[in-house]
Structure 1
Amino acid sequence: MEMTSGFGCNNFNFAVYIANKPNMREYQDITQVSPLNKGEIHAIGQACGNGWRKVFNVYAKLLYALNTKDFAYSSLAPSWQMYRDNYLFQTNSKTALLFSPPQLNENTDTLHIICGKTYAKQLIASDKLKTHLVWLDDEFAIDTSQKLIICPYFDYRQLSNVKIDKLAFMLSELKNA
């Protein structure tokens, strides 16, 4: 069993899984879930480029788009940018960006999102993901019992604002299932 590793709160209940990690020496051997400090998201974006800025921005935009009756993230800051800079992946944020395969458990309230259809298919092919997915269309799949959604990669072109809204709706449905 692989250790869970990535950025965020150790006690997360909202997890996004991504195939790669920032190309910075300090993150290559990460073996646990570690909270980021204020300013660290900006530093990663500066060092690693626009791709990582998009991942962080789309993650924050998604949290901010969630229904406030089901999720309180947007109540913490007046904008998704301020949420990203002051709360995302920090201690007690309940959010995580994980570089390890999902450890799914039907007896938890944690919501799981795999970032990208290609990554999800790699996990399934390598037997690192055991799930009963229902493909809703060419881009989104869901396993309600494991509270898992597959969605497009966190990039503005692949996960547009319209698709962020669709994913936000799906997450509320999944949380209340």
Structure 2
Amino acid sequence: MKMLDDNPSNPALISHYFGALKPKIIFYLPSAPIIPKNWLPTSEQAIAQLIHANGNHWRKIMVIISKLVCKEFSDWRKVQPNLFQQSCTEHIPLAIVIVNDSYENADNLARDPDIAHIICGKNTSSRFMFNKIVLAQHLSLNEKQAIQYHSSVFLTPYLDYRQFPNKLIELLRPMLHQTD
């Protein structure tokens, strides 16, 4: 697993990074999964091992991510085992980042419009401090199931079916797949 503490830019802010080395989508989450012993994210069994070690909670996370990044929505089950592969033509390259504490330079996320930054849930969003950009645009089903965004930065509900149902996935997918 590539750890961002190997990255000199923000070592204290991020505890875990796994996924593509050049992602087009980065999912920011508040807490790290249990990492199985000898786990390699590029292994064909990586997702299954992660789900086995962490249970239904991480299964739901991986299902929602699969549905968001797969190029053909009907292929999300086929895509899921390969989410962390470095080169897969069936889905958009992605990474998962576990954010520790405060991320004071959140405005920097919007500087690269080629990467969609998906900040998942209120707990994670509370760690980001936006000074210059305002997440003023909305996609929503209702007050509780809404996505705020600006450019390529998205503040979404946590990756759980009750908060992030298929109807909300259907609203966000076209925005993530614009540059496929």
The residue that corresponds to 1:15 in the other structure is 26
Counterpart amino acid of residue 17 in structure 2: G
Task: Report deviation, 1:159.
Answer: 0.6
Judging changes above 3 Å, is the alpha-carbon distance between structure 1 residues 14 and 168 closer, same or farther for their aligned structure 2 residues?
same
Q: How many residues align?
A: 153
Q: Among 80, 84, 92, which residue is 1:84 paired with?
A: 80
Q: Which runs of 5+ in 2 are unaligned?
A: 1-8
Task: Report deviation, 1:109.
Answer: 0.8
Q: Which runs of 5+ in 1 are unaligned?
A: 28-33, 65-72
Whole-angstrom distance in 2 between the partners of 1:48 and 1:107: 32
RMSD: 2.9
Counting helix residues as a fraction of each chain, which structure ranks higher? 1
Task: Report deviation, 1:171.
Answer: 3.0
Is the aligned partner of 1:119 residue 2:121? Answer: no
Whole-angstrom distance in 1 between the partners of 2:36 and 2:48: 16
The residue that corresponds to 1:95 in the other structure is 94
Does the 8 Å CA contact 1:14/1:95 hold for their aligned counterparts? Answer: yes
Whole-angstrom distance in 2 between the partners of 1:172 and 1:24: 30
Identity of aligned residues (%): 26
Does the 8 Å CA contact 1:143/1:149 hold for their aligned counterparts? Answer: yes
Task: Report deviation, 1:92.
Answer: 2.5
Counting strand residues as a fraction of each chain, which structure ranks higher? 2
Is the aligned partner of 1:140 residue 2:147? Answer: yes
Whole-angstrom distance in 1 between the partners of 2:177 and 2:67: 15
Task: Report deviation, 1:83.
Answer: 0.4
RCO greater where, 1 or 2, for CA within 8 Å and sep 6 or more?
A: 1
Judge which range, 36-45 or 131-140, deviates more. 131-140
Q: Among 152, 161, 165, which residue is 1:160 paired with?
A: 165
The residue that corresponds to 2:4 in the other structure is none
1:109 is paired with a residue of what secondary structure? coil
Does the 8 Å CA contact 1:20/1:99 hold for their aligned counterparts? Answer: yes
Q: C-alpha deviations, 1:88-115, integer Å up to 9, x for none? A: 1211242111113565152441111111
- Normalised to the residue count of structure 2, the TM-score between the two structures is 0.71
